[in-house]
Amino acid sequence: MHVDADRLRADIEANAAFGAIETDEGRGRTVLAGTDASRRAREYFVERLRDAGLSVTVDAVGNVSGTWLPESADPDAAPVAAGSHLDSVPEGGIFDGPLGVYAALESVRAAQDAGLDPDRPISVVCFSEEEGQRFSNGLLGSSVAVGERTVEEALELEDDAGVALDAALDEIGFRGEGRLDAAGWDAWFELHVEQDTRLERVGATEGASAAEASSDETTSPVGVVTTITGITHCEVTVRGEANHAGATPMDDRTDALAAASEFVLDVEAAANDVVAASSETAVATVGSLTVRPNATNVVPGTVEMGVDVRDVSAESMETIVEAARASLALLERGRGVETEFSRPFDLEPTPMSDRLRRIAHRAGEGAGVDTVDLHSGAAHDTMHVAGATDAALLFAPSRDGVSHNPREWTDWSDCAAAARVLAGSIADAAGALP
């Protein structure tokens, strides 16, 4: 199988023009669900699907799917599906999402060019609102595709201006019918940029020996994800007493921000303790603070905080969360503040399919591309799909680990190498290889 690297690059660069922004460095885009930029990106994608001979459907929440049904395939067989998303964060990069969408399409075109005869249909999918920047917390299209959210619930979601998703999709002509059903797939593959530096570091370590062995351009390895991290979000409120910053003696204060500062450091320390003792992949972040009344000359009376805890081990996540609760109890006793704690968002770690991981490693060997096991520290649509069918997540390296930023970059040679692994994986899972 031959992946056309120039064709893949042309599609990603064409997509980069939709929602393109001016930037001093890199290439950026802003493509929010239901906007004109989203319409143009989707229309181009549908055009490319049809050019490749795929039949196109759009479901009620805007999920787009193109299916290749060659004569060799059983039309009643469960398809092998692959893809990602085309929306972006505000001022994001050009690879996050589109690489997975167009590498999946290029995988089908490569199979067609090679004259392969798969036993199963192959579908190329673009999920709606993965980034969650306008209508949801993220992973909207995939949540509907696996039945975790109903079509009706999704369509009623509103943005900050009160515009509902159904109206926004109608406006751009991508409110279809029915529901894409991920449970009907035999397998799902998603290729994504890593958004970390692990593959880049492995490539740098192996680069010297690889360069000596071959005069061809060397590429970094492709990641085969073992587990997608669990994520829990906690909301914390610390209440003290607002008072005059000049007239309130230091020994007569109940400073909510000073107490909250101790909590932030306690959460960091808890995560470091877990990393040292049991799980090096654990992370915890206090990423948002709202201070009231937020005036320079007023002792802070209330602080609201958002805490993000992640790991591939549910046990280590619980350890950090319990440490956070214990910190608040100590602050109440030691500083006289009142605290509140809630946990509104909780996702268990999601293991990937052993069957599909073996297929991906086999595809890498066949393509002459090194593959390495690693975990994903970010959520992806595959997290939802894995609850409905066998799922696999592949990573292409990210330069300096930068993502959600115009400086996000994956070398074109690495894009092509990862696409070769994806193409081989899809062909294998679809029964197109000997």
Q: Helix %, strand %, coil % for the chain, to 5? A: 40, 25, 40
CA neighbor of 335 nearest in space, from 393, 285, 260? 260
- Residue among 386, 390, 389, 396 at smallest CA distance from 416: 396
Domains of the chain, with CATH numbers?
5-227+350-429 (3.40.630.10), 230-347 (3.30.70.360)
pLDDT tens digits, one per residue of 43-75? 999 999 999 999 999 999 999 999 999 999 999
CA-CA distance, 107 to 130, in Å (whole number)? Answer: 22
Residue position matching structure tokens 């370590």: 205
Q: Is 195 left (phi over 0), alpha (psi -120 to 50) or beta?
A: left
Q: Could you say which residues of the chain have pLDDT below 50?
A: 207-216
Q: Coil, strand, or helix at residue 117?
A: coil
Would you give the distance in Å from CA 7 to the centre of its chain? 24
Q: How confident is the model over 363-387, as pLDDT tens digits?
A: 999 999 999 999 999 999 999 999 9
CB 231 within 8 A of CB 137: no
Q: DSSP readout, 321-382?
A: HHHHHHHHHHHHHHH--EEEEEEEEEE--EEPPHHHHHHHHHHHHHHT--EEEEEESS--HH
Q: What pLDDT does 212 receive?
A: 37
Given this model, what pLDDT does residue 213 score?
Answer: 39
Q: What is the DSSP string of 176-205?
A: -SS---GGG-SEEEEEEE-SSSHHHHHHHH
Q: How far is CA 283 from the centre of its chain?
A: 17
d(C-alpha 12, C-alpha 264), whole Å: 40
Neighbours of 128 (CB within 10 A): 32
Q: Which residue has the tokens 């990937």?
A: 352
| Tally of CB atoms within 10 A around 129 | 31
Contact between residue 97 and residue 86 where contact means Cβ atoms under 8 Å apart = yes
